[in-house]
Structure 1
């Protein structure tokens, strides 16, 4: 590229679509549906994962052996414990997260000022957009996640979402419902970073090896394969990054740990668990998260297309 071409590229205004309120509504609906379907469908895996994290009787068990143990001990219906708060919680959180990522990514790209700067700092843009979007989404998720964990970890606590949420609110108030907000942030922000940032870079690596003509003429099968593979890798990254905080969140909502500030409780629980304890149940969660993230991106793209929503902003490096 000539010096004049480089100069023009450096000063070129950043290219961003003019998303409308209808577009953001479509992003929200697509995110809400993909997250509630994926998380709700994987409730049995999440039940087993949570039991492995907090119940000593499940120590050393994997996803298959843990599932068999739950069925033998409590019956098949126990695998659907917490389905209500999971579905409702991730309906709200998913919509806010995906729409928020599109919103903040656009804002940060515009803040960069020109195309070259946006591409140069794309990692910071991905990290910032994912983190901010997840923060606001977690305000909606936290009380429902607390209800889900209490239902899964304490047999007979309540009959379902409404009775469980009501009991927590009555007995502990807002303080109890949001007791896990800090650990949820510690879990969900790294999760979102892995989910969105790794997915973006997986797509970039694949597309960088293709010519423009090849990219324009990709078959539906090829697009599906790229989205699926990128989602699986992003899911593995999200699971590893967020698992220690996920373990601590389960412990906090079970009522474990000393009294005092949340930071003190988290630090004590982390020291007691050690590295091995913090990563207990990682195998089942990696399986679960790879399925979650890949299915979410596939559904999100399909639902957006069905709703007539525009594609997201791409700032990949050529």
Structure 2
């Protein structure tokens, strides 16, 4: 086999994690019969399986795991995270104030009422600028690097172990991606919280950023980075791993036909449902750290010890939780829906629902 043939075979195998059940069945059949696993080998007629594989491959306009593929995933992440977080700014404003001023903002409805009375309708949209920019940057890194690290760790593990330990692959890939994404998010998150919880602090993003840096220095923008990692890394690990598992379960248990035979509209509906359920789970896991982030970014010189002493363990785990569950569930479902809609728009398959073959399957 010459170098070009080896390259084609590698590229074909690298798409295995994202392939349909029909594709995986064909790949295993070819492996067991000792045939070459190149795209050309799948174009030869061999019944419905190979024809389905050829048709599926022809639909794709972007080569899987190519630089253009990762660029598309990055762009989808920007659209999904930036827009959705900006859209739920009113909920975020009330949540942050409930976390910082519990005696004043006692509940969701009363929180909205107090905010409207004191700050007017404009008060609900404080911090939308840093929210849009910060979460767009975070989304770019989160989704783009997740796709990169998922393939990277799968290549290290090999096909058999990547299949056997696929959940660990999802967890490791999402954690690595979020570690980078939070560095991009942290400065804007610090300014956002200050704008939302301190009326009169600044008029907007540019004014707020300059005042923050003047008061606490550039490094002050990153004082909430460790709590942010504590909030976002478990959140993202739960978000991606549970989404992958939920979508896979929906296609196996709730939908009476293979994913590749479902309409794009149905596939996007599954993505939204899987994202919403995953978002609820994310909110519960990451909520204590979310309270810490809000507390630290609101008060100059505040420490984690101060937060625990003032809020208590129960307060860290429950204050603002109901609102955050609603907000994060809706937001995460919308994120996966937008992300997959963008992927479909550029000719890529929707996320989830196709896992690598297990070692048991390979032995059949």
TM-score bin (small chain): 0.7 to 0.9
SS of equivalent residue, structure 2 residue 107: coil
Instruction: Give the Cα–Cα distance (whole angstroms) in 2 for the partners of residues 14 and 233 of structure 1.
Output: 37
Whole-Å Cα distance in 1 between the matches of residues 169 and 123 of structure 2?
A: 42
91-100 or 301-310, larger mean C-alpha shift: 301-310
8 Å contact kept, 2:174–2:240: yes
Partners of 1:26 and 1:294 in 2: how far apart?
20
Q: Deviations over 1:246-303 (max 9, x none)?
A: 0011110111675xxxxxx324422442232112000001110011100000000111
**C-alpha separation in 2, matches of 1:210 and 1:117:** 27
1:302 aligns with 2:351: no
1:240–1:211 distance in 2 versus 1, CA, 3 Å: closer
2:96 aligned partner: 50
Equivalents in 2 of 1:178, 1:75: separation in Å? 31
Aligned pair partner of 1:74 in 109, 115, 119: 119
Match of 2:308 among 270, 279, 284: 270
Q: Secondary structure at the match of 2:217?
A: helix
CA distance in 1, matches of 2:239, 2:198: 30
Query: Paired residue for 1:38, among 79, 84, 102?
Result: 84
Q: Within 1, Cα distance between the matches of 2:208 and 2:332?
A: 28
Gaps (5+ residues) in structure 1?
Answer: 259-264
Measured in 1, the distance between the counterparts of 2:306 and 2:178 equals 26
Tell me the CA shift for residue 56 of structure 1.
3.2
What is the CA–CA distance in structure 1 between the aligned matches of 2:255 and 2:300, rounded to whole Å?
55
Q: Confirm or deny: 8 A CA contact 2:340 2:351 kept in the other structure.
A: no
SS in 2 for 1:56: coil
**CA offsets, 1:48-99, max 9 Å, x none?**
000000013434312x331122101211110000000000111111111100
Taking the TM superposition and a 5 Å limit, the aligned residue runs for 1:141-290 are 141-209=185-253, 213-255=257-299, 265-278=303-316, 279-290=318-329
Rg larger for: 2
Structure 2 residue runs of 5 or longer lacking an equivalent are 1-27, 39-62, 359-364
The alpha-carbon distance between structure 1 residues 288 and 225, as it changes in their structure 2 partners (threshold 3 A), is same
Write the distance in 2 (CA, Å) between the matches of 1:86 and 1:105: 27
Distance of aligned partners of 1:317 and 1:65 in 2 relative to their CA distance in 1, 3 Å threshold = farther
- The two structures, once aligned, show a CA RMSD in angstroms of 2.7
Residue number in structure 2 paired with 1:28: 74
TM-score by length of 1: 0.87
Matched, 1:99 2:138: no
1:123 to 162, 167, 171: 167
In the other structure, the counterpart of 1:261 is none
Aligned residues: 303
List, as ranges, runs of 4+ consecutive aligned residues in structure 1 with deviation greater than 6 Å.
12-15
Do the aligned partners of 2:77 and 2:143 also contact (CA within 8 Å) in 1? Answer: yes
Match of 1:292 among 331, 335, 359: 331
Q: Give the TM-score normalised by structure 2.
A: 0.77
Q: 1:209 to 1:317 in 2, by over 3 A?
A: farther
| Contact preservation (8 Å) 1:142, 1:178 | yes
Residue aligning to 2:107 = 61
Determine if the alignment matches structure 1 residue 108 to structure 2 residue 108: no
Cα 1:167–1:30, aligned 2, differ >3 Å: closer, same or farther?
same
